[in-house]
Amino acid sequence: MEIYVLFMLPCILLVFFAQFRVKAAFNKYSKVPVSSGLSGAEAARRMLDSAGLGRVAIEPVQGFLSDHYDPRTKVLRLSPEVYNGRSLASVGVACHEAGHALQDANAYGPIVVRNALVPTAGIGSNLGVILIIGGMLLTGLIGPIGLKIAMLGVVLYAAVVVFQIVNLPVEFNASARAKKMLTQLGIVQGRQESAAVATMLSAAALTYVAATLTAIAHLLYYGLMIFGGRRN
């Protein structure tokens, strides 16, 4: 337990800090009207149309900051606050997600890899952990077979780490596209508005960094638990 706390406590604190920071930034800038007067949905539509992506639909979806782009259906889904809001926060989040649609249309390398990893990462985050814990518990009963089961779980969980690492450039690039297009299309105007959007997107980026570090810490802990125990 002490080793687990040593590995995970810093990551847990970072996750909470990142979530607090992004919510605080969104709440702050959701109260600041964007000078163009566009809603998040309208801003995303303008960005998509400027890139020739009129075929990408934009739909509202329930949930706070549940915004995402679905590459399978080519649909951009925005939370109510973002879809209807006419604030710096709304247009920033909406155009970040529109950035993912541009990545998909341009076959941006990291997003192609990330999308391909989704099924494996999903298995790793669920079955991988079950095999690790189950294998360690069974080691005392069936010896080496239990250890091999746990090792297989570690291999599966490693896919989660790879997914998170690949996801970082995807998210950073989507934000970079959004900041560039927001200015070029006149959705945000002036240094003050640009700086505000950049601040909010940077806060969101910290959540992806926190998720990656947490996945890496989990993998290191599982590896130490299994291979350290094996040496003992």
- Judge whether 97 counts as a catalytic residue: yes
- Residue 77 φ then ψ, to 5°: -110, 125
Between CA 134 and CA 105 the distance in angstroms is 42
* Cβ proximity of 108 and 173 under 8 Å: yes
* Cβ proximity of 9 and 218 under 8 Å: no
Catalytic residue among 2, 59, 81, 97: 97
CA 36 to chain centre: 28
Closest CA to 29 of 96, 98, 95, 81: 81
Rg (CA), the chain: 21
* Cβ proximity of 43 and 93 under 8 Å: no
Q: Which residues contact 91 (CB under 8 A, 6 or more apart)?
A: 34, 36, 38, 39, 40, 43, 182, 187, 188, 197
Where b means 16+ CB within 10 Å and e means fewer, 207-232 reads: bbbbbbbbbbbbbebbeebbeeeeee
Chain position carrying tokens 């700086």: 195
- CB neighbours of residue 130 within 10 Å: 12
Q: Any idea which residues carry the catalytic annotation? A: 97
